Each structure stands twice: as C-alpha cells, then as structure tokens.
Amino acid sequence: MKFIKLITAFFLISTLLTSCNGEDNADGYGNFEATEITISAENNGKLMQFDINEGELLQKDEFIGYIDTIPLHLKREQLLVSKSVIASKSKGVLSQINVLKAQLNTANTNKKRIENLIKDNAGTQKQLDDVLGQIDVIKNQIRSVEIQNAPVVNEIKSVDTQIQQIEDQISKCKIINPITGTVLTKYAEPNEITTFGKPLYKIADLKTMQLRVYISETQLSNLKIGQKVTVKIDSDNTMKSYEGTISWVSSEAEFTPKIIQTKEERVALVYAIKVDVANDGNLKIGMPAEMWLTNN
C-alpha cells in the first residue's frame, strides 16, 4: 500500500514539474508609453484665463486661455500715432512729386505732338530738343524730391514692421491647444506671471498607446512592421488581452535596459520595437505588459 502511495506521489510531482516546465512564456515584456508634448507660453505677461484640468480631454485648436495683451495694444497704438506723425511730414513732399509728375505727362504729350509735326514738316528740331530738355529737367527734379523723401518712407516702413511684430505677439498671447489629447500635467494657474518658453501643461494622445518591447536578435526575423500581435496586462486574477500592431522596429541593437534584473539578460544585446494598442481607458503610461506573437 505504501508502495502504491509512493508511486502516486511521484507521478503527481512529475506531472506538476512537467506542466511548469512546459508553460508558455511571453515573447517580450515592456511598458506602455505615449508621445508627450509640453505646451509652453509664447509671450510674457499675466495669465488672465487658463481653463484646463489634469485628466481633461482637449480638442485640437481649442481655445483654453490667454495672456494679458493690454501692454501690447498700448504699444501698437503708440506706433500708429508715430506713423501718422511721420506721414504728415511727407505730405508736402508727396504733393510736390504729384505736381512734377503732372508736368512730366504734359511734356510727354508735347513731345508726341511735335514729333508728329516734324513728320508733316510743320515743326522744327529745336522745338523737339526744347521739349526733351524739359522732360529731363522734370525727371531730375522728381528724383531729387524722392531722394529727400526716402528717409521718411523708410521710417514709415520700419514702423509698419514693428506694428506687424506687435500684432504677431498679440496673436501668440492666445493659448490654443495643438492636438487632441489628455492633459497629463498642469504647470501654471490663472493670474500667475508667465514668461516666454515657460511650460504651461503637458498633453498626450492616449487613444492609442505604444508598448515598447525589447526582443532578442533571434526573434527579430519573426517580426515585421504591420504584424498583428497579442498584448496582455494584469487584470484581477487573469490576464486581459488586446490586439496590437507592430509600428516600429529599431535598426540598431542596444544593451538590455536596467529594468531587466538578471545578469545574463542585462548583458545581452536586444532590439526595441513599438506596438500600437487601442486604449479602452485601462492602459496607462508606464504600465507593464507582455507581448505574444501567437494567441495563447
């Protein structure tokens, strides 16, 4: 009887060991990540409005706040006044140019009339020479006046450029969300003073998560971009499965990341790949997961 019990116990232990040794392992392990974008201020000033909260879903091109624009508007008005003052100085010069251009048109008309008279033997060469000389004098006078007016014209152009720069700064005081995504971190609050380049919030599109997995060189030949794989995460007492698609495979090998604990695995060269997985709301940045090449 004791012999039968020993045989039975040996059989159970052997079965258990066989089962454990034959258990399938995942083809890769990694963590979920997403492309995170930090949105920064494009101007200096007080945050008059900044209506976002961490975890909030924002739409692309959504208006979420603005920086105080009163100083910029005042500067713009000052430049417009300066432009008016400068333009008033050039009015007399511009009117003088208009008079000279009218005289030039009259002289050109007389030139054509005299040329026609000469063809009909009713005019003289001296008359034509006198008109040509008059035209040259008027053109020289116009050039002289234009040269005198050049600094004023250039000054007006300079003011126009400054006004355009101010208008560009005013438009950049509006905080427009660039992508559809979820707010991960909020760095500023309304009524705070912000500066150019200061981070305001961090956002990421979490609809599709990327699982970064490291695989060995022997596995590389079995993978290709666009290939469907199974991704599993811990869920209660079981593993929850998702369908994933390989979207990127590294072209260069690297050492196994430090999160791998065993010495043998740390010294091995591996390749990084990314697997796109549709997020049902349960996948989070940094969450560990397994990749399976076959459905197990």
pLDDT tens for residues 117-150? 888 888 888 888 888 999 999 999 888 887 777 7
Q: By the 8 A CB rule, do 47 and 194 touch?
A: yes
pLDDT at 204: 97
Residue 34 confidence (pLDDT) = 94
Q: How high is the pLDDT of residue 17?
A: 39
What's residue 12's pLDDT?
35
Q: Mind listing the domains of the chain with CATH numbers?
A: 24-35+205-292 (2.40.30.170), 37-68+174-204 (2.40.50.100), 70-172 (1.10.287)
One-letter amino acid at 224 equals K
Q: What is the pLDDT of residue 121?
A: 84
pLDDT in tens, 84-110: 888 777 766 667 777 888 999 999 999
CB under 8 Å to 206, separation ≥6 — which residues?
34, 181, 182, 279, 283, 285
Strand partners, 182: 57, 204
Q: Which two tokens stand for residue 284?
A: 């989070």
Q: What pLDDT score does 259 carry? A: 54
Q: Give the model's pLDDT for residue 267.
A: 53
Which residue in the block uniquely carries the two structure tokens 């511009």? 94
Question: Both tokens of residue 32?
Answer: 């979920």
Q: Note if the pTM is more than 0.75.
A: no
Positions of the chain with pLDDT under 70: 1-24, 91-94, 256-268, 295-296
pLDDT at 260: 52
Q: Which of 92, 104, 89 is nearest to 141 (CA)?
A: 104
